[in-house]
Structure 1
Amino acid sequence: MAVTIKDVAKLAGVSPSTVSRVLSGHPRISQKTASKVRDIMQELGYHPNIMAKSLVSKTTKSIGVILPKPAEELFLNTFFMELIRGIVTQANRSGYDIVISSGANEQEEVEAVQRLVYGGRVDGAILLYSRQNDPVVEFLYQENFPFVLVGRTEQFPDLLSVDTDNIQAAYDATRHLISFGHKRIGFVSGPKNLMVSKDRLQGYHLAMKEAGLAVKADWIVEDDFLQESGYRAMSFFMNLPERPTALVVIDDVVSFGVLRGLNELGFKVPSDLCIVSFNNNPLSELYSPPLSSVDIGIYHLGYVASQALIQAIQDEDKSLFNKRHIIPHRLMVRESSMHHLS
């Protein structure tokens, strides 16, 4: 005879409704009670009927994770893998499964998200990127569908979002180079339609302006978040009549391309060019030279995004949808930026 929820409740000394809340990952159930109930479930061999539960509760216990581009290109950058690791860890702890969706272009992304929403396949969604004038954000907002944005948007500034203060982070990185005597500082940016590119470029400009330093258009390049982008940028930068003595690079993976390009051109870091980057990729410390990088807490970004969305879904409190969570950052100073200009 199949074990029922009442059997679990009786042995655990709680009500059936408490067992149901444990199954749904309700935030108001104490960790002690939840652990006790789960132990009893395991002891009795109880497995909830997810399909039946979803029909009754009209919930799927699933979250959609929306990728910004095809997965094969996306996973060339470890940023997204670490972000998803944080999301999955928290979702699993709360009893939620993950459904990953992507498209080759914006239209395909919108269609994929529409299938998730209209098909009732997920209870909420996490967008792993923030673009300007994004049709996916527009659709989810107009549908009043629960979602959280990793980043920020100027379209709807009151959205539930989890972000780094990218303006301040880039300001701090640039000020670090200025403190070592650099006056000609370049910036290797990402795609201009991404908010992270816009914000980090703004932080760089603020620091340069505050220090009374000029910024030349030739010292700024914009490309994708790929090694090849950094590699290509070096041929351009190092052949300028007045080349930068230091660079702020938008992402560690791009910096790895920068270092490869400089090595092939015969330049040394940090004696010929100092570099500060972002995301504190695990390989940053192992590179030669070790790379100075702004740690933005990628895992924590994903974890909090998942946590905030699940709380908003379960509490049905619309005020929770209008909150911006900022994850602290810190500059990890290593050899790539440790060279004083005389």
Structure 2
Amino acid sequence: MAHNLGDPYFLDIVSGMNRALERADMYLIIASTSNADELRTYERMTEGRRVDGMVVARTKLNDPRLQYLAKMRIPFVAYGRSILPGPYAWFDFDTEAGLRQAVERLINLGHRRIALLNGPLELGFVTRARKGYVEAMAAAGLPVDARYMVERTLNSAGGHEAMAHLLSCNPRPTAVIVDNPPCGIGAVRALVDAGITIGSEMSIIINDGLPSDTLTGYNFTALQSPVPHEVGEKITELMLAVLHGEPPEKLQVLWQPTLEIGNSDGPCID
């Protein structure tokens, strides 16, 4: 999708998919579309079986794209889990478990006012990230301040706006977890613009991290997924299995993130 192409991690996944498909003598087509006309794009792509199968990225909890493909019996793999009446092939990361890890680390560093900056809640991974955050805070006996759970668009502008909101809170959070890299870029820029020292005045953990050249001087603590090329190859492996008639209930893969420690978080000084 066009809105995914600004995400370097996603582009590396696409590269891994393309490499795996070339080995199978197949080709990858990326459909550029807008949110307003997304379903019609899927209809055009599948009319007359112009494609062998489809990979659907950034799935929603209730996703009309997946519902359409299932109804039309078009082979597909969902990059993220959704709600469908029957089994389907999917690949996903356990963002719920990852967010629990991030909250627990920050609590161990002495933080109590921990915020969550996330993308739109209609996205499956965002809803699961928020669930993991809320559960980890509750397990530690910490209240969840509604002001500290900020939902914004999945881009750097949304991240910048959300972090500006968090900095305006009184008291402001001492640590922030961001559930996606596009918002992470904007959130970090907002901290730099405000003159906040990252890692001491404000700790930040970013799901999937940031590219190493985003900002010099910071090695971000991150919930790190496997190498994106490996992700792309695994998704392609699932797609090929679907095309060969493997039962979809056997083609469901959940990978665990790992917490990679950098210098963007540290002991609470407030």
Measured against the shorter chain, the TM-score band is: over 0.9
Is contact 1:300-1:327 (8 Å) kept?
no
For 1:322 and 1:287, the matched residues in 2 are separated by 43
For 1:256 and 1:127, the matched residues in 2 are separated by 24
Which of 1 and 2 has greater Rg? 1
> Offset of 1:226 from its aligned partner?
1.4
1:80 aligns with 10
Q: Secondary structure at the match of 2:40?
A: helix
- Given residue 300 of structure 1, which amino acid in structure 2 is its aligned partner? E
> Offset of 1:261 from its aligned partner?
1.0
Verify: 1:180 aligned to 2:91, yes or no: no
- Given residue 163 of structure 2, which amino acid in structure 1 is its aligned partner? M
Distance 1:87 1:105, change over 3 A: same
Distance 1:157 1:220, change over 3 A: farther
2:197 aligns with 268
Selected match of 1:323 from 235, 245, 251: 251
Selected match of 2:263 from 322, 331, 335: 335
Verify: 1:309 aligned to 2:247, yes or no: no
1:224 aligns with 153
RMSD: 1.9
Distance 1:282 1:260, change over 3 A: closer
Is contact 2:185-2:214 (8 Å) kept?
no
Cα offsets for 1:287-319 (capped at 9, x unmatched): 4322111111233222111111112212x23x1
Counterparts of 1:160-239 in structure 2 under 5 Å? Answer: 160-239=89-168
Q: Secondary structure at the match of 1:207?
A: helix
- Given residue 265 of structure 2, which amino acid in structure 1 is its aligned partner? S
- Given residue 87 of structure 1, which amino acid in structure 2 is its aligned partner? M
Where structure 2 has 5 or more consecutive residues not aligned to the other structure, the ranges are none
Q: Secondary structure at the match of 1:97?
A: coil
For 1:258 and 1:100, the matched residues in 2 are separated by 29
1:255 aligns with 184
What TM-score results when the alignment is normalised by the length of structure 1? 0.74
1:120 aligns with 49
Is contact 2:15-2:229 (8 Å) kept?
yes
Is contact 2:116-2:150 (8 Å) kept?
yes
| Percent of pairs with identical residues | 24
Q: Which has the higher contact order (CA 8 A, sep 6+)?
A: 2
For 1:284 and 1:160, the matched residues in 2 are separated by 35
Is contact 1:284-1:290 (8 Å) kept?
no
Deviation beyond 6 Å, 4+ runs, structure 1: none
Cα offsets for 1:86-141 (capped at 9, x unmatched): 211211111111122132125x2222212222222111110112112211111101
Distance 1:78 1:327, change over 3 A: same
For 1:281 and 1:182, the matched residues in 2 are separated by 23
Cα offsets for 1:131-186 (capped at 9, x unmatched): 12211111101112210000100234621000001110111111111110111100
1:129 aligns with 58
Where structure 1 has 5 or more consecutive residues not aligned to the other structure, the ranges are 1-66
For 1:329 and 1:74, the matched residues in 2 are separated by 20
Q: Secondary structure at the match of 2:212?
A: coil
Distance 1:244 1:340, change over 3 A: closer
Is contact 2:102-2:223 (8 Å) kept?
yes
What TM-score results when the alignment is normalised by the length of structure 2? 0.93
